[in-house]
A and B are shown apart, each in its own frame.
Chain A
Amino acid sequence: MIVVKYFGVIAEHTNSTEEQIGLSELSLPDCVAALMKKYSFEDVQFSIALNQNLIDKSSDIVLRANDELAFLPPFAGG
């Protein structure tokens, strides 16, 4: 299981701020692409954090159990 956190406009697409997903040996880019497609937020700009550290979303990293992934769109308001 990994924990995925959603923020801002992305949390509106997913209709939740956090979920656990069961997966094994999935690469980061594949996981990001699958969630983007599932919740249709392909048009939203975002950065990705893995275990509270920002990383390049194209990094060829294999996600492991208990990893925490966060989808971070920039906010505009003020």
Chain B
Amino acid sequence: MIMERYKKQIQLSQVGISGQEELEKAKVLIVGAGGLGCAALPYLVASGVGTVGIIDGDTVEMSNLHRQVLYSENDIGRYKVKAAKAHLQAMNTTVTIQDYAYFLSAENALALFASYDCIVDATDSIALRYLINDACVLTNKPFVYGSIYKFEGQVSVFNYKNGPTYRCLFDKNETKTPNCDALGVLGTTVGFIGMLQANEALKVILNIGDLLSGTLLIYDMLNHRQNKIQFTKNEQLVIDDAFYKAAHLKTRIHETTFDEARTKKTIFLDVREFDTQPVIKLSNSIQIPLSILEQKLDELNKNQHYTIFCQRGKRSLKAIEILRNNMFNHLANVTNGVASFKSHFKDEIHIY
């Protein structure tokens, strides 16, 4: 029965019975069950990849249906991975489909990747791509990359046999490029790129053809312009446990009180807007409103310890996120902000 089902691909000398056995043994994880995932998944499942994992914490929305073709109107509101699994399992009952109805995170990526042979990136976030990249390096898994900008798509295979990675192509995460939801996309564009990813994943498993390792393919669906860019491994960049931890596993924010902070060598950073009452002036305080903090980072010193406060302790957490993303690591947050300390330091806090 297996022979009958797959005979048209077994017939290919590059596949054969041994190739089919490789597919059956293979475990492929698809990160993201959106447009790219919906295109790649049916072909991986139909070809008999033995175990297909799907991780996504999202639910199906009406505005997904034009491109996420595994879902039907009845699936709106369901977890994408559950709807996808039901559809895919009906296509092929002989393969194992594992569904993970949550988002990939720095905390769960390593353990999850360890139980797969090949990771397909079908996400819509650059930050997640850095996470996938680094987790693939640590767990020694090939990373099949695909991504879209309107009518253009990029495809590559990273970390294949210790080859170049996403960081060799785009060295640091400094972008705010919007995703498909923000930009708009045709279903056929994500479909085409997702299928190229499935094709690369099959080639990885079958060990055939020329992979896009060290090559970025850029395809323009509007005019069929196709470009291939070669890139090599950046040997200076070492992605190890310490790198992963610093890049992805942020430690908890140190919460402090005004009393405690006063005893430490720190500078108080007031991130409230300039016209906020009460005005607070301390000998060791500066004020940079949250709204302009990113533009004023050069006024701060990365080696200095800062105690951040705002009116209630919420904006200060946002300020800490901005500062951490810019490599400021000596930070504390005043819990509940000014509300917590204005009453008992009247002589030092000048209220105008």
Contact = CB atoms under 8 A, between A and B. Distances in A.
Interface of A: 5, 7-9, 17, 44-45, 47, 49, 52-54, 70, 72-78
Interface string B147-163: 11110111000000000
A73 B231 contact: no
Given A45-B175, A76-B124, A78-B34, A70 B227 contact: yes
Interface of B: 32, 34-37, 121-126, 129, 146-150, 152-154, 168-172, 174-175, 177-180, 183, 185, 190, 216, 218, 220, 223, 225, 227-232
18 contacts: A7-B227, A8-B149, A8-B150, A17-B225, A45-B172, A49-B230, A70-B229, A72-B218, A74-B129, A74-B175, A75-B147, A75-B152, A76-B126, A76-B148, A76-B179, A77-B179, A78-B121, A78-B147
B215 to A, nearest CB: 9
A54 B229 CA distance: 7
B168 to A, nearest CB: 8
B177 A73 contact: yes
A78 B181 CA distance: 9
Q: Which of B32, B169, B172, B216 has the most CB of A within 10 A?
A: B216
B220 A17 contact: yes
Contact of A52 (B124, B179, B180, B227): B227
A52 B190 CA distance: 24
